[in-house]
Amino acid sequence: MALTDFFSNFHLLMRWLHVMAGIVWIGVLYFFNFVNIQVQKSIDDGAKKAVNPQLMPRALWWFRWGAMITFLAGLILFVMNYMYEPGIGFGPSANWSDVDGMTGRAWWITMGMLLGLIMWFNVWFIIWPAQKKLLSGKAGDQADTLRTSASKFSRINTFLSGPMLFGMLAPNHYGSFSLVTLIIVIAIAMLAVSWAYKTSEKAGKSV
C-alpha cells in the first residue's frame, strides 16, 4: 500500500530530486574534467571556434542548474531529516543529537553539506561568472586569468566530490563517525580522482 501522509511522500520526492539533480551536476563536472579537458587539448583553434559555442553554453546550463537544484533539494532534506520531527515541529531531531551530543549521522551530513556548499559556491560565484565572460567575448585581457581560475576551481570541486558524496551516503548506510574513518575516506577519494585524471589522458585512444 502506498504511503498516504504528505511528509513521507514529499520527503521521497525531495530525495529523488536531490539524487537526480546531483547526477546531472557531478556528471557534467566529471565530463568537463575527465573528457572535455583532453578534447580541448587535441583540437585546433578552428575546431574550438566551431564546437565550443555550441557545446559549452549547453553543458554549463546543466552544470549550474544541476548544482542549484541539488543544493535547494538538499537543504529541504536536511531540515526534514535533522531539524524537524513529524508531529512535534521544528527543532533538532533525534537524527541530529542524542544524550551524547551530535550523532554520527549528523557529523557525516555536516561534512557532506559543507563540501557541497563550497562546491555550489564555486560553481555559481567563480566558475560560471568566469565562463560567462569568456563565452560572451567580454573577458578581454582577463581571458587567461579567468580561464585559469575556472579550471582551478573546477578541479577543486572534482577533488571535493568524493568526500562530499561519502558524507551524503554515510548517514543512512554507515552512521558511525570517527576521525580515522574521515581521513581514510578523504585519502581514498583523493587517490581515486588522481587516478581518474591520469586515466583520462589515455582513455579512448584505443577502442
Domain ranges of the chain: 8-199
DSSP secondary structure of 110-158: HHHHHHHHHHHHHIIIIIHHHHHHHHHT--GGGHHHHHHHHHHHHHHHH
Please tell me the predicted confidence (pLDDT) of residue 207. Answer: 56
Please tell me the predicted confidence (pLDDT) of residue 2. Answer: 66
Residue 174 C-beta-side C-alpha neighbours within 13 Å: 17
- Is residue 109 within 8 Å of 171, Cβ to Cβ? yes
Q: How far is CA 204 from CA 3, 30, 170, in A?
A: 46, 15, 33
Q: Digits of tens for pLDDT over the chain (207 positions)?
A: 467 789 999 999 999 999 999 999 999 999 999 999 999 998 988 998 899 999 999 999 999 999 999 999 999 999 999 999 998 999 999 999 999 999 999 999 999 999 999 999 999 999 999 999 998 888 888 999 999 999 999 999 999 999 999 999 999 998 889 999 999 999 999 999 999 999 998 887 765
Residues making up the chain, counted from first to last: 207
Please tell me the predicted confidence (pLDDT) of residue 110. Answer: 97
Phi and psi for 88 in degrees, rounded to 5?
A: -115, -50
Count of C-beta atoms within a 10 Å radius of residue 81: 19
Q: How far is the C-alpha of 23 from the C-alpha of 90, rounded, in Å?
A: 30
Q: How far is the C-alpha of 49 from the C-alpha of 69, rounded, in Å?
A: 31
Which has the closest alpha carbon to 34: 162, 207, 205, 193?
Answer: 193
- Is residue 69 within 8 Å of 21, Cβ to Cβ? yes
Please tell me the predicted confidence (pLDDT) of residue 59. Answer: 97
